[in-house]
Structure 1
Amino acid sequence: MTTIAVLGGGSLGLLLAGKLKASGCSCVLWTRTDSQAALVNSVGITIEDHTGNSLNSVTIHACSLEEVTSSDNRVVLLAVKQTALTSELLTKLASIIPVGGALVLFQNGVGHVELLEQALPGRRLIVAVTTEGAHRLDATTVRHTGHGETRLSDNSDIDPHLLSFLEQSLKQAGFSAFLSKELGEAILRKLLINAIINPLTAIMRIRNGELTKSAARLELMKALFDETLDILRDYGLGKQSEAELWDTVLNVCSATSHNESSMLQDVVLHKETEIEYINGAICRIATQQGKQAPWNEAVTALIKAIN
């Protein structure tokens, strides 16, 4: 049986590892600290539903990334934020993932695929876009705050058996998983959604569902949405109408109403956020297009000032 290694002990990493292992998949967790690995090995991973009720308590083997010397032909799910993709981490990945090895990328924003292609030549990179909501409560406990969809790039250069294995493993774990030949559109759609929800919830210190609870907040969301959509249209976002995309943003707020966005979680914990890879990236795209992006510039500056 192929073993899946989940790299990252944050919200998404704990959720993926816990649910995969609970479903019977062969799965291990690679953490970035010895202390978290020791705790997971001692008590396992606990998964809660959005109300705080315990769904699973899962025994799983964990080890710190420093302890890993070889990927042993594993499939690695990279469940860390773009801020974690340091030169040290990339060098470590190059040493443990052999040429031909597979890495599934769960990062938000844009730019990470090109970075990993350059750092890991010859590896099979599979882009994943997920709208699952998760909140890490402590080093071993994660709350599944919202169900979403996970799409994997159906790349003709990737072994179809591997893609099928990943899709079926995620489905077996209870995720809504699909292969997509048009993942570029999904990446830009998620970038649009993240550019609205993440910075505004972080600035206002509110959960996703609270964004739509007043006319003033909706007006602010719409202004940021209109500016961002205009920029991303010229960047390749073209399948859905403006009305459909606006409804998508509102539906994500509703479906993940209990979720604290990853950016809000980072701000509360005084961690570096992904603002440069989301709204900051949109500002850079706008500059390339000769456009102004005052709303995106404002939220980027505010998040940086908070940090």
Structure 2
Amino acid sequence: MQETMKGVAVFGGGALGMLLAGKLALAEVPVTVWTRTEGQAAKIREAGISIEQPGRDPAQAVRLDAAAFGDVHPGYEGIVLVALKQTSLNEPLLAEMRRKLGEGAGIVLFQNGIGHVERAASFLPGRELLAAVTTEGALRIGETAVRHTGSGETWIGRWEPEADTPADSGKPSLPEAAANALEKAGFSVFVSNQIRERMLRKLLVNAVINPLTALWRVTNGELPATPERLSAMRALFRETEGILRLHGLRNADDDELWETVLGVCTATAANRSSMLQDVDAGRETEIDAMNGAVSRMGEASGMEAPWNAAVTALVKAILSPKERGV
């Protein structure tokens, strides 16, 4: 990590962004949250962020700096934890990030799905980019409040591990610096040299759980509750796993991966998936970055993906033309 790097900014005022920023602030890590709107930033500056945590009553409130991203002064060179959804990480926003973030910035991407690291790299040359995979559960319950619905684990690493910080830099590497900050905030964090494998594993889990919970309007725990649902889960799993095996998913056998999917349903039984939350709120979902991406990967490898294509089309069809901005 370069000498100019200082502080932590969390980009995103959704559930994960507020959870990361709030817990960093509680741990007295210097942190600023960047929101998409000045309205939310003003409310956070006034009231702080309130975090509801399992087994802890009442909620913890913490004051911290906040700013709308459009007001951020160009040249920022600290650590940036990007907690926006894939749907927000579009070309106009990445172009704005290029203007705002100096080449000394270290950027950690927390998006679901796949494809965002390459897209960000093309817009942000010279900046050090990491990918992060997390199983932390969070639910936004207001513009300044978040519920921590379940503790999980977070992995951080370079998409291309060989592009490492020189050993003689005398500074902690970006993965170590980001992990240290998050560990101080109470998160369980691991630096991984196989982050692509971690991302593909999470993509497999998300591609099974998210679209089906969104289509059937059920919690994660309710998903495998009937033979019919379990059969559909299994079919979608088999198709997705077969495609991801051709794109780098290697270090686990079929049974282990299937048990991982079922284990997530059990461990997060009361959770409503992020895709279900988006559907309920009439928001655009991340279906294109999940099952849509799997379909495209299958097509590129000469494999059909009828299950992934079907759930992609069905989830997209839920939103009305008005909600889709048509």
Cα contact 1:3–1:26 (8 A) shared by 2: yes
User: Equivalences for 1:7-22 in 2 at 5 Å?
Assistant: 7-22=11-26
Q: Report which stretch shifted further, 147-156 or 88-97.
A: 147-156
Q: Relative to 1, partners in 2 of residues 1:263 and 1:242: Cα closer, same or farther, differing over 3 Å? A: same
Look up the SS of the partner of 1:209 in the other structure. Answer: coil
- 1:208 and 2:220 matched: yes
User: Equivalences for 1:125-274 in 2 at 5 Å?
Assistant: 125-153=129-157, 155-159=161-165, 160-274=172-286
Give identity over the alignment, percent: 49
Q: 1: CA distance between counterparts of 2:309 and 2:76?
A: 44
Cα contact 2:109–2:131 (8 A) shared by 1: yes
- 1:118 and 2:122 matched: yes
Amino acid at match of 1:104: V
Q: Report which stretch shifted further, 276-285 or 249-258.
A: 249-258
Q: Which consecutive unaligned segments of at least 5 residues does structure 2 have?
A: 166-171, 320-326
* RMSD of equivalent CA atoms: 1.6
TM-score in terms of structure 2 length? 0.90
- What are the superposed Cα offsets for residues 27-58 of structure 1, whole Å, 9 maximum, x if unpaired? 11000001100111111111113579444211
Partner of 2:96: 92
Q: 2: CA distance between counterparts of 1:145 and 1:215?
A: 27
Quote the offset at 1:224 in angstroms.
0.7
Which one has a larger percent helix, Structure 1 or Structure 2? 1
Look up the SS of the partner of 2:28 in the other structure. Answer: coil
Q: Relative to 1, partners in 2 of residues 1:167 and 1:13: Cα closer, same or farther, differing over 3 Å? A: same
Q: Relative to 1, partners in 2 of residues 1:246 and 1:204: Cα closer, same or farther, differing over 3 Å? A: same
Quote the offset at 1:292 in angstroms.
1.3
Alignment: residue pair count: 307
Q: Report which stretch shifted further, 153-162 or 277-286.
A: 153-162
Partner of 2:292: 280
TM-score in terms of structure 1 length? 0.96
Amino acid at match of 1:18: G
- What are the superposed Cα offsets for residues 169-202 of structure 1, whole Å, 9 maximum, x if unpaired? 1111111100001111101100100101111111
Q: Report which stretch shifted further, 209-218 or 199-208.
A: 209-218
Q: Report which stretch shifted further, 287-296 or 207-216.
A: 207-216
Look up the SS of the partner of 1:296 in the other structure. Answer: helix
Quote the offset at 1:91 in angstroms.
1.6
